[in-house]
Structure 1
Amino acid sequence: MRFIKIQVGEFGNQLEQSTNIKSNLESIIKGIQDNKILKVFDKFYHQDVIMYEKGDSTNRVGKVANRKAEESFVNNATIHEAKLLKTIIDGNNTAYEMYMDFTYGEHRIKKNQWAIQQWSNGLIIKEEFY
């Protein structure tokens, strides 16, 4: 008979962290759907977060700069629908695809968008949108 030694502490910590990330991601998605984008940004984003829009992080380094960008979106957009299509969770990395129907300025926009996150201590440290 063979026995396998499992280090429960390490696995338990990874499982707990994954569970927290899953719960935090669900809260972020619900916040987007409930038009509480700034509230979830303040709660779940790291001080050193870097955000990319199709590979460009211009003016999107640090929480202060990113909050300004989020405020600009919130102040100029009306979200009509935000429907979750897919989620992926793998350790400290998550991604979701969302169908969004919103008006930005005078323009109605309907699109699918992927958001990919890297987490550090339960907070998003890097996020990319495609």
Structure 2
Amino acid sequence: MSTLLEKISDLNDLVLQGKAMEAFERYYHEDVVMQENETKPTVGKAANRRREEEFFAAITEFRGAKPLKVAVGESVTMVEWHYDYTHKDWGTRNYTQISVQEWRNGQIVLEKFYYGV
């Protein structure tokens, strides 16, 4: 059985390889809840899959992503990411985001993203 550090490291590596949806399928629970800052959470893997696919489809130029810091606790991981891309609706985005994941039985059941707008 992999440790949470191994799991979050593999997830991050998949994202960096352009395989974010593969990471999503591998590491996210069927009942996952995902939330951007204080917006209404998206519940369930199917709804979050659609949300993620729509997000990636709207990227018109991707200049980079880099995990800056990773923290692991008891059933929780946190990653500080730096992103640089252009989105068809939001324009140029160059920012730092904190992603906090709660894990159960080796899968993410809750993920919340914190970033400035």
Q: TM-score, normalised by structure 1?
A: 0.81
Q: How does 1:4-23 map to 2 (within 5 A)?
A: 19-23=2-6
Contact 1:50 1:57 in 2 (8 A): no
1:89 and 2:72 equivalent?
yes
> RMSD of the alignment, in Å?
1.4
Deviation of 1:57 (Å): 3.2
Aligned positions, number: 112
Instruction: Pick the structure with greater CA Rg.
Output: 1
Partner of 2:94: 110
Q: Out of 100-109 and 113-122, give the one that drifted further.
A: 100-109
Contact 1:49 1:61 in 2 (8 A): yes
Q: TM-score, normalised by structure 2?
A: 0.89
Q: How does 1:31-70 map to 2 (within 5 A)?
A: 31-58=14-41, 60-70=42-52
Deviation of 1:93 (Å): 0.4
State the alpha-carbon separation in 2 of the partners of residues 70 and 104 from structure 1.
13
Q: Look up the SS of the partner of 1:35 in the other structure.
A: coil
State the alpha-carbon separation in 2 of the partners of residues 25 and 96 from structure 1.
9
Which consecutive unaligned segments of at least 5 residues does structure 2 have?
Answer: none
State the alpha-carbon separation in 2 of the partners of residues 46 and 79 from structure 1.
27
Deviation string for 1:70-129 (max 9, x for gaps)? 000111114311111111100200101011001111612100000000001010000000
Deviation of 1:27 (Å): 1.3
Q: Where do 4+ consecutive residues of structure 1 move more than 6 Å?
A: none
Deviation string for 1:57-78 (max 9, x for gaps)? 34x1000000000000111114
Contact 1:37 1:74 in 2 (8 A): no
Percent of aligned pairs with the same residue? 30
Q: Which has the higher strand share?
A: 2
Deviation string for 1:24-62 (max 9, x for gaps)? 11111112212211111011000000001002234x100
Q: Which has the higher helix share?
A: 1
